[in-house]
Amino acid sequence: MGEQMIKPPRFFRALAVFGILFAAALPAQAQPAHGIAMHGEPKYSADFTRLDYVNPEAPKGGTLRLAAIGTYDSFNSFVIKGRAAAGIGMIYETLMQRVWDEPFTLYGLIAESIETPEDRSWVAFVLRQEARFSDGSPITVDDVIFSWETIRTLGKPNSRTTYNKVARVEQTGQRTVKFTFRDDVVDRELPLLIGGFLPILSKAYWQDRDFTETTLEPPISSGPYLIDKFEAGRNISYRRDPNYWGANLPVNVGHNNFDVIRYTYFRDNGVALEAFKAGDYDYRFEGSAPRWATQYDFPARDQGEVTLEIVPHGIPSGLRAFAFNTRKPMFENRQVRKALSLAFDFEWINANLLNGGFVRTASLFDNSDMKPNGPPAAAELALLEPWRGQLPAEVFGVPYTPPVTDGSGSDRRPLREASKLLEEAGWTVKNGERVNAAGEPFIFEILLRNSDNEKIALAYQRNLKRLGVDARVRLADSAQYAGRLDDFDFDMILVRWRVSLSPGNEQYKFWSSEAANAPGSRNYTGINSPALDAMIEALVGAKTRDELITAARALDRILMWGNYVVPLYHDAGFRIARWNKVARPAQVPIYGAVLETFWAEE
């Protein structure tokens, strides 16, 4: 006779079913992982051996000579007091390492794993047993807690703000440290900010020293380099630590190839450029398009000893623009703002004032995958449709593109279109002057802080004059400018909003209705749009990269088609010059060339 299946009583069967359903309703338990992405999953699997953008066969050795501007008086970069030495960050390591071919992803460094729940209300790290300071002592949980507590209480304001979002830090295992965030904080970025930006200090070294003071005593290092030689304020050399514990970690393969990295200080950029031409240092990043176009013709370049290149990247351009203050009556009408945007002749300005070194900006997220690339897809429409009646019709069509001129400086076509829009909005021309129905002239002020922008504003002013609009350019000192911005006491300003590949809470400060009425906010345009508020909510709440891109594109359509700004321009890439004794990997990640992966060429 076969075994007879014995059924449990009905009560216990019901209890078992309830248990299964209850377990399914609980949030997924946190699991240790080798990496963490801000949105979605990390690109590299747990068994990866190196990053794609490095040369794993890069030779070790040689010296990299770099330039710094000004001077320095401290090796303590964590406090306000003093001026920290260039490159000092190389002597410190963090729990996890950020990589540059993903928008915002970290992989294990001092920590071998990270653990955080779905709501990211806490994060825990397991430290590597082999992690060491430069004096050979192990990096412990106690060092991590000390680092957090010290920088939270004595560090720079931005660091204090971030680390004060932590309610408590505790040791939960021999090599495990757990950060629990305050109940009133909802910030999915916090686990990454703790893992990737908290420098790990030696408690034994710092606990008996005044952390708030400057110092020129080389501290104990947790990173790949040690301070070697220095002349305070003039130069500093770092030597690769031959005993660095993490040299063979996957995130470090192909990195830190130079035996010595030396910074020499120069008075200003002009002097530094001449020193580069003379061969006094090896690598230079050039931030000035006019200087790049006019001052890099020298013998070593002509003889092929120096390479000049514009290295592409996928970092969002952000938005540099003339911003309308829509709190002012003359800028309330979108048609008026659109008309005035047509008077900006980028093509002529780029050719004649900027040495052709820039491209026109068409999106807050230009140069990235978050820029709209066609009519709204279904996911975007799901966000936008509830607001259709409150938005310009163009939002639901092709992406915004700024007007284009023939570059001659006398293209009348866009000005004719602008004049028509102004007339439709009630601004007509009388005796060469643009006036409203009450006969009041169209006069506004372009407020500037930087004299370098004056030539751009004056070129814009000339074209506005052709429309009968009187734009008056005013240069203010820094204190006056800051005060007027805080009080929104301006008509138009030239400003830049920077964004990253993982935009988030900062968008509230830039565009939200709440920020529009908050003195000192960065909502300079005064945008007060429930539709835009909803897009920001969707952006900040995104849990996958696709959700983030969808929300960013929808936000951008509303912003750009609202004509709240006259978009200006951005660099086409990073301008770098290097003597050919320095080589770089062929593959460039989305953040551009990574200096830590360069090596000395024989």
Number of H helices, E strands in the chain: 18, 25
39 close to 547: Cβ distance less than 8 angstroms: yes
564 close to 525: Cβ distance less than 8 angstroms: yes
Contacting residues for 159 by C-beta, under 8 A, at least 6 apart: 78, 151, 152
For residue 186, pLDDT over 90 is answered with: no
Average pLDDT, the chain: 93
For residue 5, pLDDT over 70 is answered with: no
Of the two residues 11 and 262, the one the predictor is more confident about is 262
Contacting residues for 487 by C-beta, under 8 A, at least 6 apart: 519
169 close to 147: Cβ distance less than 8 angstroms: no
**Residue positions counted in the chain:** 602
Q: How does residue 3 score in pLDDT terms, banded at 50, 70 and 90?
A: very low
**How many degrees, rounded to 5, is the angle at CA 349 between CA 346 and CA 350?**
80
Please state, for a pLDDT cut of 70, what percent of the chain lies above it. Answer: 95
When pLDDT is averaged across residues 178-187 and rounded to a whole number, the result is 92
Contacting residues for 229 by C-beta, under 8 A, at least 6 apart: 236, 237
In the numeric block, which tokens belong to residue 249? 């970690």
3 state SS of 521: coil
For residue 366, pLDDT over 80 is answered with: yes
In the numeric block, which tokens belong to residue 271? 């002097």
In the numeric block, which tokens belong to residue 540? 């900040």
Domains and CATH numbers, the chain: 35-51+91-206 (3.40.190.10), 319-571 (3.10.105.10)
Q: How far apart are CA 158 and CA 34, in angstroms?
A: 28
pLDDT in tens, 285-336: 998 888 999 999 999 999 999 999 999 999 999 999 999 999 999 999 999 9
Q: How far apart are CA 574 and CA 581, in angstroms?
A: 20
Q: How far apart are CA 531 and CA 524, in angstroms?
A: 18
pLDDT in tens, 252-274: 999 999 999 999 999 999 999 99
In the numeric block, which tokens belong to residue 362? 């068409």
Alpha-carbon distances of 423 from 60, 335, 392, 430, 432, rounded to whole Å: 68, 10, 20, 12, 14
For residue 24, pLDDT over 50 is answered with: no
Q: How far apart are CA 418 and CA 402, in angstroms?
A: 13
Q: Tell me, what's the pLDDT at 10?
A: 36
pTM of the model as a whole: 0.86
Please spell the DSSP secondary structure of 409-454, one letter per residue. S---HHHHHHHHHHHHTT-EEETTEEE-TT--B-EEEEEES-GGGH
Q: How does residue 29 score in pLDDT terms, banded at 50, 70 and 90?
A: low
When pLDDT is averaged across residues 38-44 and rounded to a whole number, the result is 95
DSSP state of 597: G
For residue 9, pLDDT over 90 is answered with: no
In the numeric block, which tokens belong to residue 232? 């305070």
Q: Tell me, what's the pLDDT at 185?
A: 86
pLDDT in tens, 385-402: 999 999 999 999 999 999
For residue 1, pLDDT over 90 is answered with: no
For 161, left (φ over 0), alpha (ψ -120 to 50), or beta? Answer: alpha
Please spell the DSSP secondary structure of 164-196, one letter per residue. TTEEEEEEEETTEEEEEE-TT---TTHHHHHHH
Contacting residues for 292 by C-beta, under 8 A, at least 6 apart: 286, 308, 355, 357, 575
Q: How does residue 79 score in pLDDT terms, banded at 50, 70 and 90?
A: very high
